[in-house]
Amino acid sequence: MSSAPFPSRDPSTRVVRTTCPYCAVQCNFDLHVVDNLPVRVTPTKECPVAHGTVCKKGLFALNDVRHPDRLTGPLLRRNGELVPVSWAEALAYVSEALRPLLATRPDAVGVFGSGALTNEKTYLLGKFARLALGTANIDYNGRYCMSSAAAALNRTVGYDRGLGFPLGDVATSDLILLVGANIAETLPPVMQYLKGARDRGATVYSIDPRATVTAKVAGRHLAVRPGTDGVLALGLLHLMKAWNCIRPTAPAHGMTEVLWQADDYPPARVAHECGISEDELLTLGRLYAGAHKPLILTGRGPEQHAHGTDTVQTYLNLAFLTGHFGKPGGGYGTLTGQGNGQGGREHGQKADQLPGARSLRNPGHRAEIAALWGCSPDDLPQPGRSAQELFNACGEEGGIEALIVLGSNPVVSAPGALQVRERLEALKHLIVIDFLPSETAQLATLVLPGSMWCEEEGTTTNLEGRVQRRRKAITAPGAAREDWRILCDLAAAVGRPRGFTYATFRELQDEFFRATRGGVADYGGLSAERLDRASAQWPVRSADGPDTPYAYAPTYPTPDGLARLHVPSFPPPPAPRGLTLTTGRLGNQYQSGTQTRRNPALRASLELQVHPETARERGLNPGDLARVTTRHGTLDLPVALNPGLRPDTLFMPFHWEASANLLTSPDSLDPHSRMPAFKATPASLVPVPVTALAGSISEGRPARTAPLEGGVPV
């Protein structure tokens, strides 16, 4: 595969192969470009992951490339309004705003990144925060996505590669447990592997409080109560021990203690706490005990809780103690969601991390990166605030006074969204780099127009650790600049350009590959030329060495090479009364919806899903306006009946500002991953009279009174 555009039969058309801007499958497709404008997307069967399939979001991604809302020049807030300014004026503002803070209190400046950034931008953002700004306070929106699974994997086997095996192995499994993973709507091309396994006779279970599209395809559905996935895993481990099915993958620390804990989770207790029958639990247990290649795949369902790390730990323990962890076609994997969610959590934009998945707490790791960057290890800050803690500190006395946001929209995606909005409004300086005016950008004091996926070079790492090239097909419009250049411009504006004067993108990319060398997530053997020949799954330690399709085979990168199993800790189960609000995605939308809500091909309605029995008890019919209240806010939405939902559970998507995250908790964080509790919020539900005005969202913000399609009330 050449790095140059592919030839076309039409001499006026260039064809450029690149990666999709959406989910972590990272499908490849060809862009047909005429006069600096992509006019068509063509899937390619040469894609090593999707094999010629692309979901609807990818096929219609070009609708956003020249959207009328596209940001093409800097915007500076004057007299309360964002007005166009030159780059010189914009960078002068940055200099005047940030230099005094950096001279006296650099940790008053925060940085917030994204799992949608290329690996090179992830690396540069972390370098920019720690070297140019000297701040400890950098984190990213992946904290809300994969952090619990990453924390569990890191503390168990020393590193985190969501899927430690090629996706093709899924099709060889004989039992697949999808724990809180709605693949059909969030990772559609992966369904081909799921269907392949089912066609070979595999049993596929969807373990989820609602019967999603994935559950309907899977064929078996276990509707556990939100927040009890870990209890279910402990119940399965109890059965495996009782049935003499314990045969550990390898020697490991903590096995005895983990098995002792399982004694406390007999079927009766587990069935009661999970809200299922003992027969359902025993059926699942027998299937797991009899499977040769059982595979557990977790999604955000079990992870987005205040005990998400320990929940994932229970499934890791189960797979390890039954001898399946790290084996081809079986074991455990976690499904990364964002486009570069895997690479985005490896190379330095996490609060505690340096490139190559190194730790800021490790003196040796600090010394390695300091040598590359030409500074003292003491110049590198210690770990800073996690995402939610970063937002909570915005505008507070002694907290964050200025925040730089790159490619993220926390006003929609963060829990306690109204509180986050208030915190961002309290900042002295909010600088947002983006290509569309997100809700966060609309609050900014300065908006800088960045680059879209098809306007930049780089690499992305998909959910199986596969590194692929993203190729530039067109140039950014107007005065928009590539994000990596903007970060270099900002470094110069604050008077610290050393280390940010790359002559070309290739110079930055080569430095990034070098920076990972010797780390756990080692990309040191990669180059643009090697990735033109074929993608590669990390670690790739030398230019002529192999990649690593199977990442979790013993021994592990731990001090003694052994895994460390941990005894999970769960709060006492809540009394089984009242309603629980859980959140998730819709197939036609993506993340905070900045792109997909603007896309006319990706229409979707914002509705509250309610079980028919629950609706009937409250006198609600389809389309009626219902008021949902949690401790964090109130929201009025039209009702959609879903018989596949647990009667004690409400479901709401989070792609709109006036949606789920106005009601979720910003306060309760996982002690290991700092993940907020998105998935299980106590809620009440009452009808709203048709003649009444819609209620308020917390302190007077108007609620939506009709479904949303494409982000516009209809």
Kindly indicate the confidence band of residue 10, based on its pLDDT and cuts at 50, 70 and 90: low
CA dihedral 419, 420, 424, 426 (to 10 degrees): 20
pLDDT per position as a tens digit, 521-558: 999 999 999 999 999 999 999 999 999 999 998 999 99
- pLDDT of amino acid 596: 83
What distance in Å separates the CA atoms of residue 186 and residue 25, rounded to the nearest whole number? Answer: 10
* DSSP secondary structure code for residue 277 in this structure: -
281-290 b/e (C-beta count within 10 Å ≥ 16 → b): beebbebbbe
pLDDT for 3 equals: 38
Residue 698 has pLDDT above 70, yes or no: no
Q: What gap in Å lies between CA 610 and CA 552, rounded to an integer?
A: 41
Residue 704: predicted pLDDT: 38
Listed range (456-470, 499-513, 592-606, 640-654) with the worst mean pLDDT: 592-606
pLDDT confidence tier of residue 1, bands split at 50, 70 and 90: very low
Closest to 500 measured CA to CA, from 402, 519, 511: 511
Question: Which 3-state string (H, E, C) describes 221-276?
Answer: EECCCCCCHHHHHHHHHHHHHHCCCCCCCCCEECHHHHHHHHCCCCHHHHHHHHCC
Rounded Cα distance, 227 and 41, in Å: 40
In the prediction, which pLDDT does 575 show? 64
Q: Which two tokens stand for residue 649?
A: 């559970």
* Joined tokens for residue 128: 């920019």
pLDDT band at residue 706 using 50, 70 and 90 as cut-offs: very low
For residue 593, what pLDDT is reported?
78
What pLDDT shows up at residue 574? 65
Residue 693 clears pLDDT 50, i.e. is over it: no
Kindly state the tokens that stand for 518. 């010797």
Token look-up 């030329």 returns: 529
Helices (H), 396-548: 410-413, 417-425, 483-493, 505-516, 528-533
Torsion over CA: 483, 486, 491, 497 (sign): positive
Give dist(CA 490, CA 53) in Å, integer. Answer: 39
Is 614 in a helix, a strand, or coil? Answer: helix
pLDDT band for 702, please (50, 70, 90 cuts): very low
Domains and CATH numbers, the chain: 14-64 (2.20.25.90), 75-145+341-499 (3.40.50.740), 147-334 (3.40.228.10), 579-713 (2.40.40.20)
For residue range 409-424, what is the model confidence (pLDDT) as tens digits?
Answer: 999 999 999 999 999 9
User: For 258-262, 615-619, 685-689, which range has the lowest pLDDT when averaged over its residues?
Assistant: 685-689
Residue 666: alpha-carbon gap to chain centroid = 17
Which SS3 state, helix, strand or coil, does residue 406 take?
strand
DSSP state of 526: -
Length of the chain: 714
Q: Which of 13-17, 240-244, 539-543, 599-603 has the lowest mean pLDDT?
A: 599-603
Inter-residue contact 448 to 431 (CB < 8 Å): yes
Give the span between the Cα atoms of 300 and 145, in whole angstroms.
7
- What average pLDDT does the segment 607-636 reach? 94
Longest dimension (CA), the chain: 72
Predicted pLDDT at 586: 84
**Cis before residue 309, ω within 30 degrees of 0?**
no
pLDDT of 589 reads 84
The SS3 call for residue 505 is helix
Between 278 and 12, the more confident residue is 278
Cα separation, 625 vs 617, in Å, equals: 15
Count each helix (H run) and each strand (E run) in the chain, helices first: 22, 32
> What pLDDT is recorded for position 556?
93
pLDDT tops 60 at residue 154 = yes
Inform me whether the pLDDT recorded for 712 exceeds 70. Answer: no
pLDDT for 655: 84
Confidence of residue 9 (pLDDT cuts 50, 70, 90): low
pLDDT of residue 5: 46
Which pLDDT belongs to residue 691? 56
pLDDT at site 705:
32
State phi, psi for 539 to the nearest 5 degrees: -75, 145
Q: Please say if the pLDDT value at position 614 is more than 60.
A: yes
The C-alpha atoms of residue 315 and residue 328 are separated, in whole angstroms, by: 17
Query: In degrees rounded to 5, what are phi and psi of residue 348?
Result: 120, 0
Q: Please, what is the average pLDDT of the chain?
A: 91
Task: Tell me how far apart the alpha carbons of residues 149 and 675 are, in angstroms, rounded to a whole number.
Answer: 10
Q: What is the pLDDT of residue 587?
A: 82
Q: What is the pLDDT of residue 658?
A: 83
In a 3-state reduction of DSSP, which class is residue 60? coil
Q: What is the mean pLDDT of residues 277-284?
A: 97
Q: What is the per-residue pLDDT for 434?
A: 96
The conformation of residue 131, written as its DSSP 8-state character, comes to I
* CB-CB neighbours of 117 under 10 Å: 29
The pairing of strands 294-298 and 175-179 is parallel
Both tokens of 187, joined, read: 């990772």
pLDDT over 60 at 707, yes or no: no
* Distance set, CA 286 to CA 223, 239, 257, 388 (Å): 18, 9, 24, 41
The reported pLDDT for the residue numbered 408 is: 93
Q: Is pLDDT of 4 > 70?
A: no
pLDDT, tens digit, 9 for 90 and up, residues 344-372? 999 999 999 999 999 999 999 999 999 99
Overall average pLDDT of the 611-640 stretch: 95
| Residue 436 pLDDT level (bands cut at 50, 70, 90) | very high
Q: Give the integer Cα–Cα distance in Å for 348 and 364.
A: 16
Calpha distance 513→347 (Å, rounded): 10
Q: Per DSSP, what are the bridge partners of residue 36?
A: none
Alpha carbons 632 and 354: distance in angstroms, whole number: 35
- What are the tens digits of pLDDT across the range 213-232? 999 888 899 999 999 999 99
pLDDT tops 60 at residue 708: no
| Highest-pLDDT range among 35-39, 468-472, 568-572, 583-587 | 468-472
> Which of 429, 332, 331, 405 shows the shortest CA–CA distance to 138?
405
Give the range among 30-34, 170-174, 425-429, 658-662 with minimum mean pLDDT.
Answer: 658-662
The confidence score (pLDDT) of residue 13 equals 86
What does pTM read for this prediction? Answer: 0.93
